[in-house]
Amino acid sequence: MTGLLEGRVAIVTGAGRGIGRAHALELAAHGAAVVVNDYGVSLAGEKDDNASEGGPADEVVAAIEAAGGRAVANRADVADFEQAAAMVQQAIDTFGGLDVLVNNAGFVRDRMLVNTSEEEWDAVIRVHLKGHFAPLRHAGAYWRTEAKEGRPRAARVVNTSSGAGLQGSVGQATYSAAKAGIAGLTLVAAQELGRYGVTVNAIAPVARTRMTEGAFDTADMALPEDNSPLVAWLASEDAGDVTGRVFEIDGSAITVENGWSHGPSRDHGTRWSATDIGPALRELLAEAPTPEPVYGS
């Protein structure tokens, strides 16, 4: 591997299995010291009794160290505000700073909308959306302080959205809402943190993991590690001119996602009446591109 990330310090959340594990191994292989975060939960977010010593985070750390890299395990609940702060501080105390945050942790509780319970909604929104906000909030505050004290870091954030958040997915209303929120958070964070030398991007990965098995036909899906070279590059100093973007990666194909943008419009010149709006909207919709179909529709 190259020295693309030599001397850089990274946190990867949800790094005990699947895509997160692949990211941690890839970053370490390019020279980064990695805080391997994994709370240790089941696919549905239930606590894993093996999440303490010898759990998935420790196994990834052992693999990195066996390959000659540097890593430390972290078992924080990334949606717990104080635990997220402590995770950021662990990176600083252990490796002398923080340069890269890869927000990846999450789980699914798929239901059709009318069958979704309040608890299921709260749990999924919490781990995905608040689990992105809390580490990003504390890492961003650290980078702001460093910049103000004359020690700016070429910091990078890579968030994890999904095609479900960009196009929607039948049976995944909660997950889709959380992932759409992450895309929006990425845009705002990129603008607010850019003044401190921080870039913020998101990926929408496609891979055969325990989250996709059972929900989709995964026979032809990419492997988790197929997503990680994109993350490694976005985490590098070379990627300093790329921010506020969302990339879908599906095996060998990378797509720049355009997201919401202004389409056809019409100014009526005065307050619209309800009877005027209908015909005008139909004309505008006829001029607008057809939306991409919702997954599963």
pTM given for the model: 0.91
Active-site residue, 295 included: no
Please give the pLDDT value at position 126: 98
- Tokens of residue 138, six digits: 């504390």
Q: What is the average per-residue pLDDT within 165-193? A: 97
pLDDT at 181 over 60: yes
Contact present, 123 and 175 (Cβ < 8 Å): no
pLDDT at 43 over 70: no
Active site residue: 39, 175, 196, 295, which one? Answer: 175
CA distance 257 to 234: 16
Contact present, 266 and 63 (Cβ < 8 Å): no
Active site residue: 39, 142, 162, 169, which one? Answer: 162
Active-site residue, 175 included: yes
CA distance 99 to 153: 7
Q: What is the average per-residue pLDDT within 252-269? A: 95
Please give the pLDDT value at position 51: 47
Q: Which residues contact 37 (CB under 8 A, 6 or more apart)?
A: 11, 12, 13, 14, 15, 57, 74, 75, 76, 78, 87, 105
Question: What pLDDT digit, counting tens, does each position of 189-226 carry?
Answer: 999 999 999 999 999 999 765 554 555 555 667 899 99
Q: How far is CA 161 from CA 105, 110, 186, 249, 254, in A?
A: 11, 16, 9, 11, 14
Contact present, 185 and 133 (Cβ < 8 Å): yes
Place of tokens 């603008």: 191
pLDDT at 240 over 90: yes
Active site residue: 39, 179, 196, 236, which one? Answer: 179
Question: What pLDDT digit, counting tens, does each position of 81-124 carry?
Answer: 999 999 999 999 999 999 999 999 999 999 999 999 999 999 99
Q: What is the average per-residue pLDDT within 175-180? A: 97
Q: Count, in order, helices (H) and strands (E) of the chain.
A: 9, 8
The architecture that CATH gives domain 9-257 is: 3-Layer(aba) Sandwich (3.40)
Between 49 and 182, the more confident residue is: 182
Active-site residue, 130 included: no
H or E stretch covering 187: helix 173-193
Please give the pLDDT value at position 40: 80
Question: What pLDDT digit, counting tens, does each position of 155-173 carry?
Answer: 999 999 999 999 999 999 9
Mean pLDDT rounded to a whole number for the chain: 92
Q: Is 36 helix (H, G, I), strand (E, B) or coil?
A: strand
Which range is most confident: 32-36, 167-171, 255-259? 32-36
Q: How far is CA 258 from CA 19, 106, 183, 187, in A?
A: 23, 24, 11, 12
User: Which of 1-5, 153-157, 219-223, 289-293 is predicted least confidently?
Assistant: 219-223
Please give the pLDDT value at position 50: 47
